[in-house]
Amino acid sequence: MKRLNGRKPGELRPVVVKAGVIEQADGSALVSMGKTTAVAAVYGPAILHPRRLQLSDRTFLKTVYAMAPFSTTERVRPGRSRRGTEICMVTRHALEPALFLEENPKAGIGVYIDILQADSGTRTAGINAASVALADAGISMRDLVTSVAVGKVDGEYFLDLEGEEEDVTKCDLPIAYMPRGKKITLLQMDGDMPAKDIKELLNLAVKGCEILYEKQKQALKERWLVK
Amino acid sequence: MSELLKKDRELVIPGDEIIRSMDFLPGKNCFREGNSIYTKKIGLVSVNRRVISVIPLSGVYIPKAGDMVLGEVIDIQNNGWVIDIKSVSEAFLPLSGVREFIDTSKTDLSKVYGMGDVVYAKISGTGATSVYLTMQDSRSRKLRSGRVVKMSPAKVPRLIGKEGSMINLIKNKTNCMISIGQNGLVWFEGEKESKVIDAIGLIEREAVVDGLTDKVSKLLEG
């Protein structure tokens, strides 16, 4: 099967990464991968309220993922959803290993991800944006977190699936990856496939993440470099 | 001894390797993993003999003993005041940190510093999760009038300038009294208050540009 818009199997969608898009936030970023656009805003570390959430040995990381009502062809009902709650959790788990949360006990960091336009891969775009926003906010990090989804369509391994491809794939695999330490911080699978496919797909996803990593670094440099 | 992978004063992104050597020590905002030293934060590399550190370009204020900060009273307890200093934790101003003697059985603490009052205080010490303030410093006082604006704490050194050159320029040109908190809150009162806001805005936007003093001086004259 040929890919839509003539992409090669191992090619990402056109990626745009911008840091510092929201002035009021301590740190922010916009990531768009093809027709999927995510904006992340980071606040803190700051005093955390309500107090019962404070952790005595580390910073509390709060992640909020929300899709805009107009982000898809059918209106998305705003507010909590089963899917949204799950994505909040996996995003938090994907970002936590990159942070030095033990530095500011009892404080809280808030990461707010909004999906402005959705065309598959919203959690991966959200994680990419959140990691750039965290770095932009001057929060201590081991590395940036990059994220991309891969899948198998008609016997071929495709990188960064878009909406129509995701609809026909039997199985897709979103991952988050810290390139410096070569660590995977998120691995989900929707569908099933043989073990050898997963190995191939992981290799492909890691390659995609390396490219995204450079884009993220470039965006941060553009924001902070002395002109 | 091995070579620096990043130059002194070069911009680094979290996770960037600065040096691969055990002959150096990781300083502020850096960490060691294996044989290498990496940066934790976005900032500029600073090499001081054998200590590698990074000067952050953004981020919230991290309290340090001896710093002067501006803060707002947010709670009154029976032995002192809780002050919001816009940092990772609240600060506490104990009775012992106030210059005059206060008999708690006779005086209402809110008469000394009430809720919402703004104080210019010195950080006397910090613990793991606690920050203590003191007014026992000639610069410390309660602010009764004037205005307070917030700026990025990472850019406060630029507002002050080398040995106070920038802040003295602003003070002289605008005829304002200005008190700078290291936490990014700036208090001022005087003739051309709006000019002070403009100058702070310019410094915040163009903190890393060369010839900033000239630009600020032009802005204040125009």
Out of B13, B29, B208, name the one closest to residue A217 (CB).
B13
Per residue in B25-64, pLDDT (tens digit) is 999 999 999 999 999 999 999 999 899 999 999 999 999 9
Q: Is the pLDDT of residue B78 over 80?
A: yes
Q: Using one digit for the tens of pLDDT, what is the confidence trace for A178-204?
A: 999 999 999 999 998 999 999 999 999
pLDDT > 70: percent of chain B: 100
Q: Give pLDDT tens digits for A109-152.
A: 999 999 999 999 999 999 999 999 999 999 999 999 999 999 99
Closest CA to B97 of B123, B129, B126: B123
Q: Dihedrals φ, ψ of A158, to 5°?
A: -110, 135
Q: What is the pLDDT of residue A227?
A: 58
Q: Which pair of tokens denotes residue A13?
A: 């969608």
How distant is the Cα of A29 from the closest Cα of chain B, in angstroms?
14
> pLDDT tens across B153-186, in order?
999 999 999 899 999 999 999 999 999 999 999 9
For residues B43 and B54, the answer to whether their CB atoms sit within 8 Å is: yes
Judged against a pLDDT cut of 70, whether residue B1 lies above it is answered with no
Strand order in the sheet with B176-180: B147-150, B185-190, B176-180
pTM to 2 decimals? 0.93
Span B188-212, pLDDT tens digits = 999 999 999 999 999 988 877 778 8
A59 phi and psi angles, rounded to 5 deg: -75, 145
Q: Which residues of A touch B (CB under 8 A)?
A: 26-27, 44-47, 56, 100, 104-107, 135-144, 178, 180-181, 217, 220-221, 224-227
Distance from CA of A225 to the nearest CA of B (A): 7
CB A47 within 8 A of CB A107: yes
| Omega prior to A45 cis, within 30 of 0 | yes
Domains of chain A: 4-221 (3.30.230.70)
> Who contacts A140 (Cβ-Cβ below 8 Å, separation ≥6)?
A99, A100, A103, B14, B29, B40, B41
- Which residues, 6+ apart, have CB-to-CB distance to B72 below 8 Å? B83, B84, B116, B117, B118, B119
Residues counted in chain B? 222
- Would you say residue A223 has pLDDT above 80? yes
Q: Give tens-digit pLDDT for A153-168.
A: 888 999 999 999 999 9
Q: Compute φ and ψ for A4, nearest 5 degrees.
A: -65, 155
Task: Compute the distance between CA of residue B70 and CA of residue B179 in angstroms, rounded to an integer.
Answer: 8
pLDDT score at B45: 94
Mean pLDDT in chain A? 94
Give me the interface pTM, i.e. the ipTM.
0.92
Q: What is the mean pLDDT of residues A46-55?
A: 94
Confidence of residue A1 (pLDDT cuts 50, 70, 90): low
Question: CB contacts < 8 Å between A and B, how many?
Answer: 86
Interface test with A, best of B8, B13, B215 (most A CBs within 10 A): B13
Q: What is the mean pLDDT of residues A71-92?
A: 96
The reply to whether residue B129 touches residue A143, judged by beta carbons under 8 angstroms, is: no
Cα(A179)–Cα(A207) distance, integer angstroms = 10
Domains along chain B with CATH numbers:
11-56 (2.40.50.100), 68-143 (2.40.50.140), 147-221 (3.30.1370.10)
Average pLDDT, chain B: 92
Q: Which residue, B126, B122, B125, B123, is CA-closest to B138?
A: B122
B201 in reach of chain A (CB within 8 A): no
Q: Of B88, B126, B129, B209, which to mutate for an interface test with A (greatest number of A Cβ within 10 Å)?
A: B88
Inter-residue contact A181 to A141 (CB < 8 Å)? no
Q: Which of B42, B84, B88 sits opposite A135 (nearest CB)?
A: B42
Contact partners, residue B87, CB within 8 Å, separation at least 6:
A46, A47, B60, B61, B62, B63, B131, B183
Q: How far apart are CA A200 and CA A196, in angstroms?
A: 6
Q: Token pair 């610069």 is at which residue?
A: B139
Distance CA B47, CA A217 (A): 22
pLDDT single digits (tens) B105-125: 899 999 999 999 999 999 999
